Structure 1
Amino acid sequence: MKLKMLLVVIDPTRQSQPALERAVWLARQSRSALELLVCEYHATLEGSSLFNPSSREKAREKLLQERQTWLETLAQPLREEGLQVQTCVRWGKPLHEVVLARAAELKPDMLFKAASDHGALRRLFLSNSCWQLIRHSKVPVWLVHHGAFGGYRRLCAAVDPLHSIDKPAALDHRLLIAARELGRLLDLEPHCLHCYAPLPPSMLFDAKLVAEYPEYLKSNAEQRHLAFDQLLTQYPQIRPYSHLVEGYPEEVIPHFVRSESIDLLLMGAVSRSHLDTALIGNTAERVLEEVDCDLLVLNSRAEK
């Protein structure tokens, strides 16, 4: 995983910038450059009859210049400590389209964005722009919690070696490579989790299948263990922290994140189509809605 340029979406409406905080932490370790991006838009300055075209244009330019000046106040202290930081202000909506357009131009190695802030609630609430970035970004998307940041201790890659949810095999390897390299770079325990749920007996309507159910459970477990073991042969640094758990992913993964104090969860997202309303899969979406740690999502559409 090369890390030369990190793109950070800055929210000009908030005083705290947790996405910038995480990106700076990573940049200090990797010596990556940073771009701070603000996306601005106000309908009254676009086509409102309240202002003539010339006045609207001047008002937009003034607003964008104010944002640029403000971004520079965030960037300058980072430059003074030796980081390479550039700033960019763009006009347009919706937010995710402006961000994706800038990412296509800049070609960063990672994209940082803060999730929605829901006060004392622990869950990572994802806004519509977060979901759209997950579905369509061609670079890994790091979604960040609001709140105090005291560093990380553990990360975890959630994999599916038998691809029961149609996740491409290459995506598992990209997740494990990212976990290995981030673990080494940031001095984190690189955990790996695979969870699976056998077909419940209540769904068997054939007497022969019911009679063979114990053998099915044994065979399924052996197959999972074998596939998981084979996947990890290339990642000896991760093997001591590997976990194979029986249960539904949307239940097991959030519970595992909490019980093992995981700070960063790595997941693969599989876009189902090229439609704007494309889903990434019901299982993945339910998992992402329930976790309470930062997320690093690699999309199956991403450039290799």
Structure 2
Amino acid sequence: MKDLKKLLVVIDPTSDVQPALARAIELASPHGADITVFLSIFDFSYEMTSILSGHEREAMREGVISQRQAWLEELLMGYTNEKVQIDSEVIWHNRPFESIIQYAISGNFDIIVKGTHLHDKLKSVIFTPTDWHLMRKAPVPVLLVKDHAWPVAGKILCAVNVGTEEDDDHQTLNGKIIEYAKDLAKQFNAQVHLINSYPGTPVNLAIELPDFDAHTYGETIRMQHEQRISYLANSFDISSDFCHVKEGLPEDVIPDVARQIDAELVILGTVGRTGFSAALIGNTAEHVIDSINCDLLAIKPDGYRSPLEKD
């Protein structure tokens, strides 16, 4: 967050209350960063009508854009901040997530900030929400904001992976997540906590191997993860009291610990996934966002390239 200079805030066109913009101003103020509020609109009826000429349809689109721009400028009057420059942009596009990511890339933004809400699980399998697309495909960090305040001296929960010490990519991503957390903790006087989950004892082993000691196996795995997360925490000057190691799936463990410590923010790494597997499996971040009552910051690994980036 030290290099936070440009924030792209996605506006909710259905509400006069914009938690994402309020959060972005909080983040931007100490850095003197610039904010651009972004609204992507589209009306299919304007594209399908055969009565109007192409020129007339274009004029109608421009009229709708002008109306939304005027609404946006009026909205911004309630969010003035002398330390932050706030600009606005309204774009006509039939796929909001594409317009957001493309604008973020072309404008060299440091982060995308967007309000979020509970998603319908069944519909999400068929029509992937914009939030999920952003977490999968945006090359910059994505902060999904719920409607609540960040208290002073709050808690930030970092989801790290310490299951494979030899995996350099995971180690690098762990460090990136923690660095983001420490920068935010300094700004908001917050505590940084680490969470790691580990898998339970495979049932098939207990069945196929009569002499297999499931308890000892589970305790060995737990101790390995506790030692690794303690080593990671120590390398970033984080107290071992703020380390949490739990058995289970990440999408279950992370929300549970977030509730237990009353976290205001969960930070985790996410990788892009496309195609049919993405619809059925999804990412941990996609499952977590619907199970926590706080903000979520999704970070891509170094070197990640969005499928929407042009060569």
TM range (shorter): 0.7 to 0.9
The residue type paired with residue 18 of structure 1 is P
Give the TM-score normalised by the residue count of structure 1.
Answer: 0.85
The 8 Å contact of residues 112 and 143 in structure 1, kept in 2 or not, is answered as yes
The 8 Å contact of residues 271 and 283 in structure 2, kept in 1 or not, is answered as no
Structure-2 separation of matches of 1:224 and 1:29: 37
Q: Greater shift after overlay, 237-246 or 152-161? A: 237-246
Secondary structure of 2:157's partner?
strand
**Alpha-carbon deviation of 1:253?**
1.6
The 8 Å contact of residues 160 and 174 in structure 2, kept in 1 or not, is answered as yes
Q: Which residue of 2 aligns with 1:121?
A: none
Q: Which residue of 2 aligns with 1:123?
A: none
Question: Using a 3 Å threshold, how does the CA distance of structure 1 residues 150 and 241 change in structure 2: closer, same or farther?
Answer: closer
The 8 Å contact of residues 144 and 295 in structure 2, kept in 1 or not, is answered as yes
Question: Using a 3 Å threshold, how does the CA distance of structure 1 residues 294 and 161 change in structure 2: closer, same or farther?
Answer: same
**Alpha-carbon deviation of 1:215?**
3.5
RMSD (CA atoms) = 2.8
Matched, 1:66 2:58: no
Question: Using a 3 Å threshold, how does the CA distance of structure 1 residues 272 and 188 change in structure 2: closer, same or farther?
Answer: same
Q: Which residue of 2 aligns with 1:145?
A: 146
Structure-2 separation of matches of 1:127 and 1:6: 24
Q: Which residue of 2 aligns with 1:10?
A: 11
Structure-2 separation of matches of 1:41 and 1:238: 49
Question: What stretches of structure 1 of length at least 5 have no aligned partner?
Answer: 119-125
Structure-2 separation of matches of 1:68 and 1:86: 11
Question: Using a 3 Å threshold, how does the CA distance of structure 1 residues 277 and 43 change in structure 2: closer, same or farther?
Answer: farther
Structure-2 separation of matches of 1:59 and 1:257: 47
The 8 Å contact of residues 132 and 286 in structure 2, kept in 1 or not, is answered as no
Q: Which residue of 2 aligns with 1:122?
A: none
The residue type paired with residue 168 of structure 1 is H
Matched, 1:295 2:290: no
The residue type paired with residue 10 of structure 1 is I
Structure-2 separation of matches of 1:249 and 1:20: 29
Alignment coverage as a number of residue pairs: 293
Structure-2 separation of matches of 1:212 and 1:116: 44
Structure-2 separation of matches of 1:283 and 1:80: 36
Deviation string, structure 1 residues 16-59 (Cα, Å, up to 9, x no partner): 11111111111123322101101111112224224222221111
Q: Greater shift after overlay, 54-63 or 176-185? A: 54-63
Q: Which residue of 2 aligns with 1:33?
A: 34
- 2:189 equivalent among 183, 187, 190: 187
Q: Which residue of 2 aligns with 1:248?
A: 249
Identical columns (%): 29
Structure-2 separation of matches of 1:301 and 1:93: 30
| Correspondences of 1:1-304 after superposition (within 5 Å) | 1=1, 2-76=3-77, 78=79, 81-116=82-117, 128-146=129-147, 148-149=148-149, 151=151, 153-163=154-164, 168-201=170-203, 203-207=205-209, 210-237=211-238, 239-272=240-273, 275=275, 278=278, 281=282, 283-300=284-301
Deviation string, structure 1 residues 220-265 (Cα, Å, up to 9, x no partner): 1232122212222321145442222233323222111112111111
Structure-2 separation of matches of 1:276 and 1:54: 39
Secondary structure of 1:204's partner?
helix
Question: Using a 3 Å threshold, how does the CA distance of structure 1 residues 249 and 74 change in structure 2: closer, same or farther?
Answer: same
